[in-house]
């Protein structure tokens, strides 16, 4: 093994270590939900536009026109987007492990590697979309990049959910054990993409349906990501106990 490969290996192992996952997991949950919740409260109480989920976009939380604290949305999506990357790697590592030691055997089916590779790719695009939404907020939008990153965020996570759902439902794995894998897997397969499609075809609707549907797909994705987060943190805790 070359020096470069060894260096990359060490970085990878550090990023996907259970302790790192715990730190990133709890930090991202606190920052994301704390910042979003506080941002909504401030927008409703002090924004002056009667902020609500029917008449306003989520992105309006990132504009001084609707809230005196738009940085809260920026903080939520940028921090969560960055802290999700270790989780994407962690899922890939434990849902489709490459056998390196006897404990990794037997190797997962070839299809598991394909599904997780596709899921990893789209979930990483979703994280890039989150970061882009925060960097190019409504007040800092350049050439429509805010809209592009918003589509990338919701679309990528919705597509990535399909491959995760197939993996959880049909191929045995330890990260989300039975019987929890079935509801999580079926939800991943059947809910995010159809709801995302409905949101997409109504994106230019002038009646306000588009804004409501953006919130709907947001809560749908939260309903998927949070259980996977919780199960991953539970798995990381077990890995730490094994090492003690």
- The pTM score is 0.90
Cβ neighbours of 224 (radius 10 Å): 20
Q: What does the pLDDT profile of the chain (244 residues) look like in tens digits? A: 444 567 888 899 899 999 999 999 999 999 999 999 999 999 999 988 889 888 899 999 999 999 999 999 999 999 999 999 999 999 999 898 877 666 666 777 888 899 999 999 999 999 999 999 999 999 999 999 999 999 999 999 999 999 999 999 988 888 888 889 999 999 999 999 999 888 888 877 766 788 888 999 999 999 999 999 999 999 999 888 877 6
**So where are the chain's domains?**
3-243
Whether residue 186 contacts residue 169, with contact meaning beta carbons closer than 8 Å, is answered with yes
118 in the Ramachandran plot: left (φ > 0), alpha (ψ -120 to 50) or beta?
Answer: alpha
Residue with tokens 């918003």: 150
Specify the 3-state DSSP secondary structure of 101: coil
How far apart are alpha carbons 225 and 210 in whole angstroms? 22
């Amino acid at each position: 093994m070359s020096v470069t490969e060894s260096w990359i290996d060490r970085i990878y192992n550090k990023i996907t270590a259970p302790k790192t996952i715990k730190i990133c997991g709890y930090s991202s949950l606190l920052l994301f939900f704390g910042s979003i919740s506080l941002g909504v409260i401030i927008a409703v109480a002090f924004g002056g536009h009667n902020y609500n989920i029917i008449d306003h976009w989520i992105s309006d939380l990132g504009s001084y026109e609707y809230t005196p604290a738009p940085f809260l949305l920026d903080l939520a999506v940028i921090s969560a987007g960055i802290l999700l990357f270790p989780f994407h790697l962690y899922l890939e590592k434990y849902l489709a492990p490459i056998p390196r030691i006897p404990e990794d055997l037997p190797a997962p089916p070839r299809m598991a590697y394909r599904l997780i590779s596709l899921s990893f790719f789209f979930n990483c695009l979703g994280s890039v979309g989150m970061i882009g939404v925060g960097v190019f907020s409504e007040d800092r939008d350049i050439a429509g990049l805010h809209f592009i990153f918003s589509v990338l965020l919701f679309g990528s996570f919705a597509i990535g959910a399909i491959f995760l759902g197939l993996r959880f439902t049909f191929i045995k794995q330890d990260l989300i054990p039975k019987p929890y894998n079935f509801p999580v897997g079926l939800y991943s397969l059947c809910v995010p993409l159809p709801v995302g499609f409905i949101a997409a075809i109504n994106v230019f609707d002038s009646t306000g349906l588009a804004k409501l549907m953006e919130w709907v797909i947001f809560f749908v994705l939260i309903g998927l990501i949070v259980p996977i987060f919780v199960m991953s943190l539970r798995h990381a805790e077990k890995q730490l106990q094994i090492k003690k």
